[in-house]
Structure formats: C-alpha cells, structure tokens
Amino acid sequence: MSFFLPPHDYPAARYDGEQGEKSARWRPQDAPHDIEQTNGGSCDYLATGATTRGDYGLYRWNMSAANAGPAPHFHRTLSESFFVLEGAIQIFDGTDWKEARPGDFCFVPEGGVHGFRNRSEQPASMLILFSPGAPREKYFEGLAEIAATGQRPSDEEMAEFFAAHDTYWV
C-alpha cells in the first residue's frame, strides 16, 4: 500500500531528539490583551515570529464597532491569512470588498492587495496569520502608540515606518 510510504515532499526534519520535548506555549482565552486600542479594539499575540522561530505569526484581532481597519495595501515579504471568528468583517481581496462572517477565510500571497475593516455596528474578531513570522508586534504597537498619543508623525516618518514594516499602500 503506497500510502504507508514516507512522503518525499515533507520538509527536512528540524528536530532530531528521540523523546520529544515539553515546549508547548499555552495562552488562555482570558489572558490580558497585548494591545488595547483607543477605539476599543484589541490584539492578542497568539504566536509571534519569535516564538515560532520565524515560521509564522498568529494574532487574534478584536475589532470594536467603530469603523476601523487598514485601507488596501500589500506586503513584499509576507503572506497574510484571515479567518473570521465572530461578527462581520469586510475584507478587500484585491478586487472587491467581501462581507466575511464566522468561518470565512481569505489567503493573500506576497504582493496581493488586501485590506480589512469593521463597518458593522457590532464588535468582530478574526485570526490573522503572517508567514514568515516577521515581528509584526512592533508595527501594531507603533500604530497603537500613534493613536494613543494623538501625535501624528510627519508624512516622511510615516512612509519610513510603513516601509520598515513591509506595508505599501495602493
């Protein structure tokens, strides 16, 4: 039976121990949010690039009922995936804004134009997965700091900030 043969398309082994390790990372549902936004939204760092050895970053993005979310943009080095957990979130797929509901999923490869926003009058939540696992926390924290202080950097400083975090507006 051929399905018992080891697949040849698996990546090379990255762990060569015999017994396995106690190395899982646990984050309970009621853990404090990593970012509290001034508009009532929040972000939870479920798995950062640092904790996954650069493989991916996984974040729970909790959006308030406020009209918020990034305009269409793209990344040169990252793919991004969205999985809606609750509420209704509009996701731009490069062509149209789609109404995404719980269970809906969108994958955006590197260079793919995308955006998301909550235009409903209800809170919404989704998982965002970046691959590879770049330090997106610094991007999220920088935007939260700008919003919290109310001090807008110059256009040149913002352009530098976005370029440093692989975000290009269209």
**What confidence tens digit (pLDDT) does each residue in 125-153 have?**
999 999 999 999 999 999 999 999 988 89
- Kindly indicate the confidence band of residue 168, based on its pLDDT and cuts at 50, 70 and 90: very high
> What is the C-alpha to C-alpha distance for residues 166 and 22, in angstroms, rounded to an integer?
34
Q: Residue ranges of the domains in the chain? A: 32-169
**CATH entry, 32-169, from 2.40.10.170, 2.60.120.10, 3.20.20.120, 3.40.1190.20:** 2.60.120.10
pLDDT score, position 68: 78
Q: Tell me the CA distances in angstroms from 153 to 39, 60, 119, one per residue in order.
A: 19, 27, 27
pLDDT score, position 2: 65
Tokens at 16, concatenated: 């060569």
> What is the C-alpha to C-alpha distance for residues 24 and 49, in angstroms, rounded to an integer?
15
Average pLDDT over residues 90-115: 98
Average pLDDT over residues 42-70: 94
Whether the pLDDT of residue 89 is over 90: the answer is yes
Higher per-residue pLDDT: 150 or 98: 98
DSSP bridge partners of 61: 43, 126
pLDDT score, position 7: 67
Helix or strand or coil: residue 98? Answer: strand
pLDDT score, position 4: 72
Per-range mean pLDDT, top range of 1-5, 49-53, 148-152: 49-53
Across the chain, mean pLDDT equals 94
What b-and-e string marks burial along 77-94, b requiring 16 or more CB atoms within 10 Å of the CB?
A: ebbbbbbbeebbbbbbbe
Nearest to 107 by CA among 137, 126, 125, 129: 129
> What is the C-alpha to C-alpha distance for residues 22 and 128, in angstroms, rounded to an integer?
26
